[in-house]
Amino acid sequence: MFLINCPYCGERDQSEFSAGGEAHIVRPKQPTELSDDQWAEFLFMRKNIKGVQLERWNHAHGCRKWFNMVRDTSNDKIHAVYKMGEKPPLK
Amino acid sequence: MKNKYSIFSLIKNAFSYHENWQRAWRDPEPKKEYDAIIIGGGGHGLATAFYLAKKHNMTNIAVVEKGWIGGGNTGRNTTIIRSNYLWDASAGLYDHALKIWEGLSQELNYNVMFSQRGVMNLAHNLQDVRDLKRRTHANRLNGIDAVWLNTEEVKKFCPIINTSPDIRYPVLGGTLQRRAGTARHDAVAWGYARGADAMGVDIIQNCEVKGIKRNGDSVEGIETTKGFIKTKKIGVVAAGHSSVIANMVDLKLPLESKPLQALVSEPVKPIIDTVVMSNAVHAYVSQSDKGELVIGAGTDAYVSYTQRGSHDVVEGTLKAILELYPIFSRMKMLRQWGGIVDICPDASPIISKTHIKGLYFNCGWGTGGFKATPGSGDLFAHTIANDEPHKLNADFNINRFVSGDLVDEHGAAAVAH
């Protein structure tokens, strides 16, 4: 459990948020053109990194807005929070 | 040669104050090369090594473990064993394991304290009733014992459950698998380690894998903290850290690793002689032979390798426990811990070859791998030895995520994913 600095609401308890998994997985523009392998890659395959990972989070019990996060999954330390559409800050 | 454990060896060793027991397994330095290497010295990995040696005559093999054997999820689970899964593929897999459990202490000459005290799954709403009845029928068609109990029968089987219709999620009934139960989790790792070691398997602890060496499409060996070890076959049984190993060869797996928590209470006199699980309110409880209540909580909903888990998850579980068992209201919880579980999108495991020759993965057991330990080891050993799956694990290949032929067991997995 940790605190998350929502870019819209400020620092709140992690239990107010829900995690949306790995960030920057772009939905295919032409789904009908995709092979089964590409679908599997998009739907299921994840890096599941132990270390610094880019993630999507949703302030589900707050402003309900989505945003991105740079978090170290080995110690739950949050390095940065940035809005949807923005590029991840350089490490 | 290992001395056999028996009542006579116990008496004999009592005369020397139990100071002369033989070492249960050696502590070897790694050889330069093995026929196969298992990464991960938990129950599943040690069982794999045991069956590779016993059934497939592969004795020039090693198990490498970054910590100590059984120190990961093998020592962190809630020791529940059952096979009442919905789909045919899962029923085959988990009941194969349960059948091995039934003779495991004799097979290993090691008391794993397997206790068939029954596992009861509770239903709290109409949909639960429908789902669990359907699962009972499916189980029986697959030859797995399962019965439906109504509310009175639930109360009779486990009298401390609050079956009042006035609670937030009343007990509308439940299913019971009598062959299910618990085992001593450490003993499973130790028993398999001793058995494998006796057949010549090297168990190398404090040896972390740092990289996998490849030559084109096949593996050549592993880089470890104890140096390079050559091998043509690598079986990865690294549970929550499976993706860490997979990332070494740029292989992506359909896994997310999350902390799963459990906790135990202060020890008390026998009060619950079975295992009761409730998926809907997320509470499951049993009592250890020491008298502690063993309580399983849920996973955190985000990726983390911290082996801790969040407080609110424990709080939610204990609220449900207290409503179902008001008698526990003044119990004190002694210890809480987390283990990192690797969860597949369909809540079923992967026991599979990969596109890299000689690289095999046994992972994705998520929140319920302990029960499958002997079966998992047996089938993974078969897969490694023959370079093709046994018919019981054929459906649990990695390619199911491409073909779409998933084994959706979210309903039968005890912990909501």
One DSSP character per residue, B343-361 reads E-TTS--EEEE-SSBTEEE
Confidence at B373, pLDDT banded by 50, 70, 90: very high
* Nearest residue on chain B to A37, alpha-carbon basis: B402
Is residue A68 within 8 Å of A84, Cβ to Cβ?
Answer: yes
How does strand B147-149 pair with strand B173-177? antiparallel
Q: Number of Cβ pairs closer than 8 Å across A and B?
A: 67
Q: Is the pLDDT of residue B414 over 80?
A: no
| pLDDT tens figures, B76-89 | 999 999 999 999 99
Is residue A42 within 8 Å of A28, Cβ to Cβ?
Answer: yes
Please check whether residue B306 touches A, CB under 8 A. Answer: yes
Contacts of B311 in chain A (CB under 8 A): 1
Q: Which domains does chain A have, with CATH numbers?
A: 3-83 (3.30.2270.10)
Q: Identify the burial level of B293 via C-beta atoms within 10 angstroms of its C-beta, where 0-12 means exposed, 13-18 middle and 19 or more buried.
A: buried
| pLDDT tens figures, B26-50 | 999 999 999 999 999 999 999 999 9
Q: Is the pLDDT of residue B416 over 80?
A: no
pLDDT tens digit at each of 91 positions of chain A:
799 999 999 999 999 999 999 999 999 999 999 999 999 999 999 999 999 999 999 999 999 999 999 999 999 999 999 999 999 987 6
Q: Which of B322, B295, B325, B300 is nearest to B311 (CA)?
A: B300
A14, A37, A75 member nearest B402 (Cβ): A37
Q: Which of A72, A68, A69 is nearest to A52 (CA)?
A: A72
Please check whether residue B253 touches A, CB under 8 A. Answer: yes
Can you tell me the ipTM of this complex?
A: 0.95
Distance (Å) from the C-alpha of residue A38 to the closest C-alpha of chain B?
8
What pLDDT does residue B117 have?
97
Q: Which of B167, B139, B184 is nearest to B320 (CA)?
A: B167
Distance (Å) from the C-alpha of residue A22 to the closest C-alpha of chain B?
9
Cβ-Cβ contacts under 8 Å for B105 (sequence gap 6 or more): B111, B112, B113, B114, B191
Please check whether residue B299 touches A, CB under 8 A. Answer: no
Contacts of B312 in chain A (CB under 8 A): 1, 15
Distance (Å) from the C-alpha of residue A56 to the closest C-alpha of chain B?
10
A18, A46, A53 member nearest B254 (Cβ): A46
Confidence at B283, pLDDT banded by 50, 70, 90: confident
In three-state secondary structure terms, B170 is coil
Helix ranges (H only) for B77-183 are: 88-101, 104-108, 126-141, 151-157
Please check whether residue B397 touches A, CB under 8 A. Answer: no
Please check whether residue B243 touches A, CB under 8 A. Answer: yes
Residue B377, phi then psi, degrees to nearest 5: -65, -45
Phi/psi region, residue B250 (left: phi>0; alpha: psi -120 to 50; beta: rest), is left
Please check whether residue A1 touches B, CB under 8 A. Answer: yes
pTM > 0.90: yes or no: yes
Please check whether residue B279 touches A, CB under 8 A. Answer: no
In this complex, do A44 and B241 lie within 8 Å of one another by their Cβ atoms? no
